[in-house]
Amino acid sequence: MVEPSFAKRSVINHHEYLQGASIITSDANGIDDNEVSTTEGHLISYDYLVIATGHMGSKCVTKPEKLREYETYNGKIKSSESILIIGGGPTGVELATEIAVDFPTKKVKLVHKGSRLLEFIDEKGSKKVLDWLTLKKVEVILGQSVDLTSNSDDGTYKTSEGETIMADCYFKCTSDPIGSSWLKETSLKDSLNDSGRLMVDENFRVKGFENIFAFGDITDVAELKQGYLAQKHALVVAKNLELLINGSDGGNMVKYTPGSPTTIVSLGRREALLQVWCVTSIGRVPEYVEPASFVMAFNKARADGTPFPPPDISFPKSNFVNFSFTISKSETATQFSPNLIKQSNKIAGLGHNEINKA
Ligand SMILES: Cc1cc2nc3c(=O)[nH]c(=O)nc-3n(C[C@H](O)[C@H](O)[C@H](O)COP(=O)(O)OP(=O)(O)OC[C@H]3O[C@@H](n4cnc5c(N)ncnc54)[C@H](O)[C@@H]3O)c2cc1C
């Protein structure tokens, strides 16, 4: 949104890395014992099914649409003097920090209904991020929400406490809904927990099913929802599928132990908040810190003047990618890191992955 070349380099088409898999661009909307249906009327039979519909995400289907969406956002930022950001989770905070660094003269206000920013990190971390933003002259209003129905064309917004905010534009950065509403009418409905996440065992098999796996943000694994952890899940799922496809009775499947609570929230171009266990710090994050790989790889490529992704990226073919189907509502993925692409290829897909043995 703030740096258009970032979008051009990070949005990739599924077919660029899923070589050999059949990609169906549509919303999955039903599952029965051996078949998945889509809103466009596809019926795809499966022996093994992998569900990775983390969050609903953007409505854009093609890469040009996605890039246009980012350009529109970028144009909005450039043409506005005052910008209102609604939501103090990672999306809102990262956007505010990037605008503050790239456009230091613009007035940025961030309104968050919680009592502190980034509630999933500890209080010390929230305070450090608040101080960072304040130093960069971003005004943060906590404990209030913005009533968007009150917005008139003159750029006036009312908060839940009756405050009036003037802004040339706003960005709603509240979290996307979990991508599980489509499962509520299916045989998997009893495998959803109260928050709409799929309950999985330590092998990532969906509760009550032998041949259905789920991983990533859609699952109830008790850990922070992070892309680098979804990558680890993907490896376990890929290994377990391979074992089952090769005739294992499941007894030797790989078990997953929830990851160490490492969190990173990027702050502008060069810095990030890093929280490892109970240690929180702000500054430049070393490259070896796993979840930093996307931001760090991008910054490094830019500093070195080299293309992103790095030229040595390779796309390994798995044993079963050639007889798999991937259903995804969009033709594109946002490349999180070169590793994610490598691992996604092993199990044939992002979004909603369906692996067909026969
Ligand atoms: C602002 C922000 C910053 C972040 N920064 C980091 C970071 O620095 N490090 C880190 O490790 N993590 C980070 N994360 C978290 C990370 O993005 C997620 O944990 C990761 O994307 C989860 O991957 P996933 O494949 O499970 O789900 P998603 O990435 O949500 O992908 C799910 C896909 O499924 C599609 N889908 C949904 N329903 C259907 C359907 N019915 N049919 C077909 N397709 C469907 C969606 O459109 C979407 O494309 C960040 C998240 C945010 C919001």
| Residue 268: per-residue pLDDT | 86
Beta bridge partners of 13: 332
Q: Which of 121, 156, 172 is the last residue of a domain?
A: 172
Closest atom, ligand 1, to C-alpha of 217: 26
Instruction: Specify whether 91 is located in the same domain as 154.
Output: yes
Instruction: Specify whether 235 is located in the same domain as 261.
Output: yes
Ligand 1 contacts CB of residue 329 (under 6 A): yes
Ligand 1 contacts CB of residue 89 (under 6 A): no
Ligand 1 contacts CB of residue 58 (under 6 A): no
| Residue 353: per-residue pLDDT | 33
The answer to whether the CB of 104 falls within 8 A of the CB of 136 is yes
Strand order in the sheet with 22-25: 22-25, 325-328, 352-355, 48-51, 212-214
Q: What is the percentage of the chain residues whose pLDDT exceeds 90?
A: 55
What is the full DSSP assignment across 250-299?
STTPPP--PPP-EEEEEETTTEEEEEETTEEEEEPPPTTSGGGHHHHHHH
Q: Of the segments 7-21, 102-116, 318-332, which one has the largest average pLDDT value?
A: 102-116
Which tens digits make up the pLDDT trace of 64-76?
A: 999 999 999 999 9
Which tens digits make up the pLDDT trace of 207-231?
A: 999 999 999 999 999 988 888 888 8
User: How many domains are there within the chain?
Assistant: 2
pTM (2 d.p.) = 0.84
What is the full DSSP assignment across 140-177?
EEES--EEEEEEETTTEEEETTS-EEE-SEEEE-PPPP
Instruction: Specify whether 168 is located in the same domain as 114.
Output: yes
Is residue 310 reached through a cis peptide bond, with omega within 30 degrees of 0 on the bond before it?
Answer: no
| Residue 326: per-residue pLDDT | 80
Residue 340 CA to ligand 1 centre (angstroms) = 12
Closest atom, ligand 1, to C-alpha of 215: 26
Which tens digits make up the pLDDT trace of 79-119?
A: 999 999 999 999 999 999 999 999 999 999 999 999 999 99
| Residue 285: per-residue pLDDT | 66
Instruction: Specify whether 351 is located in the same domain as 218.
Output: yes
Residue 1 lies in a domain: no
Which domain CATH number covers 182? 3.50.50
Instruction: Specify whether 147 is located in the same domain as 292.
Output: no
Whether pLDDT at 346 is above 50: no
Q: What is the percentage of the chain residues whose pLDDT exceeds 70?
A: 81
| Residue 348: per-residue pLDDT | 37
Domain region containing 201: 12-57+177-355
Which tens digits make up the pLDDT trace of 231-290?
A: 889 889 989 998 999 999 999 999 999 966 778 888 887 788 888 877 888 887 666 555
DSSP letter (8 states) at residue 197: P
How far apart, in whole angstroms, are the C-alpha atoms of residue 82 and residue 107? 5
Q: Average per-residue pLDDT in the chain?
A: 83
Residue 350: pLDDT band with limits 50, 70, 90? very low
Interval 158-177 mean pLDDT: 93
Instruction: Specify whether 137 is located in the same domain as 266.
Output: no
